Amino acid sequence: MTENPGQNPYGAPQGGYQQGGYPQGGYAQGQPAYFTKSPQQVDADKASQLSLVFGIIGLFFFGILFGPLALVQASKAERLGSAATAGRVLGWIGTVFGVLGLIWFVFIMIAFFSALASYPY
């Protein structure tokens, strides 16, 4: 039995691996793939973040002002297609706390001035 020294009996070419059907680097046409958002999605994300920020601020400072601002921004974000549940919930909580704080402040002022009016000079 004579062997032919120039041929590989397994059928694979000699000299290393043959390149497969995948492009080099895993990218189409050698360019990296980038994800870009549409302007509407950017506006929706911005409104969602603003509603969350306004909701958090409304829990601690001026809930009567920042609570409704959070609700408006959450509505805008949802209208544009982004979820803003946390901003909406914090906006409602801030609004309720702001209204209760305003009622408490008015009650304290009425009590103070009624006590002041009944004080004999």
Q: Which tens digit of pLDDT belongs to each residue from 36-78?
A: 888 888 899 999 999 999 999 999 989 999 999 999 999 999 9
- pLDDT for res 120: 78
- pLDDT for res 15: 57
- pLDDT for res 39: 83
Q: Which amino acid does the sequence have at 74?
A: A
Q: Which amino acid does the sequence have at 96?
A: V
* Mean of per-residue pLDDT scores for the chain: 83
Residue 100 pLDDT > 60, yes or no? Answer: yes
Number of other CB atoms surrounding residue 98 within 10 Å: 20
pLDDT-derived band at 35 (thresholds 50, 70, 90) equals confident
Please tell me the distance from the alpha carbon of residue 39 to that of residue 5, in angstroms, as a whole number. 66
Q: State both tokens at 109.
A: 């002022």
